[in-house]
Structures are given as C-alpha cells and as structure tokens.
Amino acid sequence: MKNVNCVSGKDSVTFSRVSIRFLSCLLGIVLCQTVVHGQQSLQPASAPAPNPLRNAYFGDLHVHTSYSLDAYIGGNRNDPRAAYRFGRGEPIILTGGVKSQLRVPLDFMAVTDHDIWLGELALCTDPKEAVYASEVCRGIREHDPHAASALDFGHFSAQNPAQRDARICGSPDTGAGNCNDRAKTVWTELQQIAQEFYEPGKFTTFIGFEWTANLKRIGMLHRNVIFRSTTVPDVIASAVELNNRPERMWEWLEKTCTGDCQALSIPHNTNFGWGVALDTKNSDGTPFTKEILQRRARTEPLIEIFQMKGNSECAPGLGTTDEQCGFEQLFEACKQGEDAFCALPRDYVRNALKTGLVLGDQFGVNPFQYGFIADTDTHSSNSGATEEKDEPGYTTPVKDDAPLNKDFPISRGAFNPGGLAGVWAEENTRESIFDALKRRETFATSGTRIRVRLFAGWNYPKGLDKQQDLVQAGYKGGVPMGGELHGAHGKAPKLLVWAVKDSNSTNLQKIQIVKGWSKGTETFEKIFAVACSDGLRPDLRWHKCPDNGATVSLSDCSVTANKGAAELSVIWTDPEFDKADRAFYYARVLENPTCRWSTEAALQAKVALSSKFPATIQERAWSSPIWYTPEGR
C-alpha cells in the first residue's frame, strides 16, 4: 500500500507512474496526519477523500432477483437483499445449492427487477391473496418453466405485451388496480432495500428498475432506469401502461422526475431489438421529430454494449468487416424475409453511432450519442459474477444442464457470464457515480476489470502517455471519453489512450481505435491498431498488430505467462482525418486469449468440448467515444 503524506492539511501523493500504481495509491488512503491544537495525531479516514483526477469503479446496473417473474419461474429464490449482499462480497447459495462468492466485491450496483410483473408475482406468492390458489399462480410457483400454466402465462405476456393478465389482475370491467397497487408496494420496498445497503465511500446502491417494453415474438425495447437519489416517482409507469413505447417513457420521466429527482434510461440488448431498438424512426414507425430526439438524447446518454445475452457492439457482415465483431454473438444475420431471432444492421451500437452523425446534421441533435457500459443481466441474483471459470449459467447451474458435449440450450451455451460497467468518478457515492454516468465518462468490459482511459485534445505533447501527469494533462488539454471536440483548430486531434490489465486476469495484447465518420448521408468506419504488446508495432498499411504468440492450453486452460503487457498507452493522431467530417473515436482493449466458460465447464465435467462454441475468447474493454464536430455544425 502506498503512503499518503498530509502536509498542513493538504494531501500530497507521490507517484512513480500514472498507472495502476496511481489508482492503488489513491484508493489505499487509510491514515492521514492532522494537526489538532498544535499537536500531530493520527486519525482514521472513514473513506478516501474525493479524487479530482477520478478513480475507476466497477459495477453492475442490470441485476434480476426473485422479484422478477422470469427469474422466479427459473427457480431463483434469492431476493434483492441477497443480490446486494453478493455484490458487496458476501457468499450466497444459488439455485441448485451452489455456493457462490465474488473474488472482488463490486463498487456499485442496482437491482433492476422487471416493472411489468412486480404486482402479479407478489400477488401469486402471497398466501393471503385470493388469487394465490389459482391455477396460473400455482404454475408460477411450481419452479417449472415448462409447466403448462407457466407457459400459458408466458405466452400471454409475449403476445399481449400491453395488457395485464385478467386471471391475476382482474378484467377491464373490474380494473387492474389490484396489480398496480401491489406493484406500488413492491416499488417502495425496493427503494428501502437499496437504501439499506448504501455505504457511501464503500458500496453504492442505486434505486432502479427495468422498464420491460416488449415487441411480440420476445423482441426487446428494454431500458434500465437508474435514479441519482432517493427522490423518485411514487409509482412506476410500466411498459404495459405506456403501451411499450420508449417515447412515452421518456416523456413520463420528464414530467414526474423533476426537482431533486434525476434519472437515466439505459437501453440494453439491442441485439434482440429486431431492427426497432436503434431504428431511424420512432418505435411505432412514425417519423422522428426534433423534440422527441432531444428528449431521447437528454434521457439516454448511455447504452449497454455487452451482457450475458451477447455483444451489441457490432456483428460480422452487418455494416462491418471488423474481425473482432464475431465476439460472443447470439444470432446469425437475418436471411431474406426474416426479421426476428436473427441479426439486423440496425440492432448494433456502432451502426447507430454512425447513423447518429447523419441525424445530427439533419436535426441538430444526435440521439445516438451513447457512452458505453456493460452489465450481467443475471437472473440468479449473483450481481457482477463475470468470471469464465465456474460460470453458473443464466438462471440455473451449468452442472444441472444438458451434457456439455451435446447441444447447449440457448439459455446456457450461447450465453456468456456478462460484463461490468466502469466509471471514472471522484468518489464512490451515488452523486459522483451518477454524474460520471451522465457525462458518459464510462467504459465497458466483457467481465474482467481492465481499466481504460481515453482523452482527446489539440496540443498534447509527444510522449505524454509515458509521463506521470498524463491524466491531469489529459483533462487540462482536452476532453475525456464521452466528451465532444469542435473543429475550431482545423487539424487532427490527438488521442491519448491508457489501459491497465486486471490483476486477476491475463495480460493485455493490444489497443485499437474504432473510428466512424460521415460524409453527407454516407457513413464509414475503420479500425486502427494503435498500441501492441511485446515491443511490436502496428502495421502501417493494414493497421493491425502482429501476433504476439500468446497461446492457451485446452487441456488445462493455462496461458502463456510471458506474453502481453500489464499496461499499454499511446498518443495517436488519425492519419486520415478530414476536418469537414463528423466523426467519433473509441478505444477497444483486448487481452491475450483465454478459455471460454464453456471450455472451463467441459474440462471440469471431463467431457469433450462442444464444437458449437469457440474454445477460447479474448476478453476486452471499450471506452466511451469522443465525438468530433466540424466548425459551424
């Protein structure tokens, strides 16, 4: 642990390098010398002092518990309190009797149970309610997702996403107030539980829920709604009440979350969006208006780029030739005439970022100016459990699944453990982390705790990435990720990128810069390798790093120990910059290859590897983009 010297009431910290050591020093503040009545005394600090250069915090803002109907039917009986206990580092028992515990606790999290079933599930699991004994409620409680009554309820919900099930909530004649009233009670309870586990400076909990807007055929327009404080609406206007229209949800938040109430709406799983989630028209097919796009941009500064149900960054052949876009894909490209349970170009975030550049010119507002986070979307209450080894599965343990050398069900083998949300914030509090989310100073990881920072400015000096004051200079001379540059200088901006490995994972292999730009209504993209490990240099023609020789043994999942880097950094200038083009840039950091969780599970079970899934993966991190806008636009 580094020392912190406090002189005359000021902290002066000595850094040997602005790197992981810098972070550990800031986070390791325990004692500080103070002067009391002319005498020095040691006083314990209850929490680290706010860091103006900001610390990296890791969290999970997409967690389901037994209060979510689909999780409950899947067998989960761990409530929100269990999820918060798990997130802060305590062990819990998962479905099937498996004990699980995080190796490293989360810094922040939110339980985001589904809004549309809060009342129904509470009624069906309360013996004091008359509907408790009904066939549909018995089916829900049977712990059997294949039970006829449970399937019937699920079918009703999928085919009637804007209706309540009268068997539980009553008919339109008698009103659905019973479910709505019960949902209000559960919402109050969720707020109280989040507050109960909030420890400022140590463990931050956010009040939130998943706004579960569904298309027919299980397509998703879902959002996680996260509140900054305990000032929240008294009642959730669920997707049912708002007819599954995100536009109506943004308007509801704008009208009800005022004053001290602040909220963010975070779209997720756009790879399940059937071409609607990131379309160039409203969810009901009507044309965009500037007012709606402004409201969308204010409400949704972030998007979930990765989670258990796959990668929403990009997909091979759908607007890109980027070979890294094949990472953890759930769906194949749609064939002629298909529009669901397959992938369309409009389902992916990078394509939306490019489209947003064009919309910015057309409407004067970019509705797809998204910063990035990742989450788990766990339905097992095990928030932040993203390690490939001992992955317990989406809702039930792997060991209870089909034989690993045969077909995995889609809810197991095709899924992955999920990702983590990263923020750069002054301190571990609701206010500081929420503000980082709002300004998009965020990054996403596929599950490991890679740290990445990206700055852009006009006059960064050569070699700044190797200097001790790179972070301070990055802020002073430019903008951090999530920020915007405007073309008053007429020259290419300089990008400062810095990444540090997860101490519990393998080494870093390379940093890439992903660029997107527009010319008129046409959009383009290109991938530049900008930093390579092992003393290698990017190829100037193909903009790729040479293979660093890192390998994985599929007999025991051991990796090459002497390849890769603990830290990579670079100052980079776009060699193809055109000051007339709108553009964005984001960093993607890749680790050396490691075993995928399905390989780890097969080795543990002593069965042959499945040929349906990759044996190895490259864990990664994505910085939020920085946008360039030409002068006068």
What's the pLDDT band for 24 if we cut at 50, 70, 90? very low
Helix (H) or strand (E) holding 362: helix 349-363
Helix (H/G/I), strand (E/B), else coil: 523: strand
- Sequence-distant (6+) residues with CB within 8 A of 522 are none
pLDDT in tens, 296-335: 999 999 999 999 999 999 999 999 999 999 999 999 999 9
* Average pLDDT for 571-583: 97
624 has pLDDT over 80: yes
Instruction: Specify the pLDDT at position 219.
Output: 75
Higher pLDDT, 203 or 488: 203
Instruction: Specify the pLDDT at position 145.
Output: 56
* Average pLDDT for 538-562: 95
pLDDT in tens, 36-66: 333 333 334 467 799 999 999 999 999 999 9
Instruction: Specify the pLDDT at position 15.
Output: 30
Instruction: Specify the pLDDT at position 632.
Output: 78
Distance of CA 557 to the CA centre of its chain: 27
What residue spans of 300-443 are helical by DSSP H? 349-363, 430-438
Class of residue 272 by CB neighbours under 10 A (exposed 0-12, middle 13-18, buried 19+): buried
d(CA 525, CA 320): 8
Instruction: Specify the pLDDT at position 507.
Output: 98
Helix (H/G/I), strand (E/B), else coil: 267: strand
Instruction: Specify the pLDDT at position 37.
Output: 31
Instruction: Specify the pLDDT at position 633.
Output: 77
Instruction: Specify the pLDDT at position 180.
Output: 92
* Residue 258 half-sphere exposure toward CB, CA atoms < 13 A: 5
* Average pLDDT for 599-617: 88
Average pLDDT over the chain, rounded to an integer: 87
Instruction: Specify the pLDDT at position 220.
Output: 86
> 509: which 2 tokens?
């292999």
* Average pLDDT for 88-110: 94
pLDDT in tens, 352-388: 999 999 999 999 999 999 999 999 999 999 999 999 9
* Residue 72 half-sphere exposure toward CB, CA atoms < 13 A: 23
* Average pLDDT for 4-20: 33
20 has pLDDT over 60: no
d(CA 444, CA 350): 14
Instruction: Specify the pLDDT at position 612.
Output: 84
- Sequence-distant (6+) residues with CB within 8 A of 191 are 207, 230, 232
Which residue carries 């975070």 as its tokens? 266
12 has pLDDT over 80: no
* Average pLDDT for 616-622: 98
Please provide the size of the chain in residues: 633
Which residue carries 């002073």 as its tokens? 476
pLDDT in tens, 502-522: 999 999 999 999 999 999 999
Instruction: Specify the pLDDT at position 214.
Output: 87
* Average pLDDT for 269-273: 93
4 has pLDDT over 60: no
Residue 632 φ/ψ region, left for φ over 0, alpha for ψ in the -120 to 50 degree band, beta for the rest: left
Instruction: Specify the pLDDT at position 172.
Output: 63
Residue 627 has what DSSP assignment? E
What's the pLDDT band for 88 if we cut at 50, 70, 90? very high
Instruction: Specify the pLDDT at position 96.
Output: 80
Which residue carries 């290419």 as its tokens? 492
- Rounded-to-10 torsion of CA 225, 228, 232, 236: 0
The DSSP code sequence of 51-117 is -TT-EEEEEEEEE--TTSHHHHHTT----HHHHHHHHTT--EEPTTS-EE--SS--SEEEE--BGGG
Per domain, the residue ranges of the chain are 5-44, 65-116+186-438, 454-630
Instruction: Specify the pLDDT at position 164.
Output: 87
Least confident window among 103-117, 173-187, 239-253, 286-300: 173-187
Helix (H/G/I), strand (E/B), else coil: 150: helix
121 has pLDDT over 90: yes
* Average pLDDT for 70-93: 95
Tell me the angle at which helices 177-196 and 80-87 cross, rounded to the nearest 10 degrees. Answer: 30
b/e burial code for range 343-353 (CB count within 10 A of at least 16 → b)? bbbbbbbbbbb
pLDDT in tens, 410-463: 345 688 999 999 999 999 999 999 999 999 999 999 999 999 999 999 999 999
**% of the chain exceeding 90 in pLDDT:** 74
Instruction: Specify the pLDDT at position 604.
Output: 86
Instruction: Specify the pLDDT at position 616.
Output: 97
* Average pLDDT for 473-485: 97
89 has pLDDT over 50: yes
pLDDT in tens, 149-204: 655 666 666 666 768 888 899 876 665 678 999 999 999 999 999 999 999 999 99
What's the pLDDT band for 98 if we cut at 50, 70, 90? confident
289 has pLDDT over 50: yes
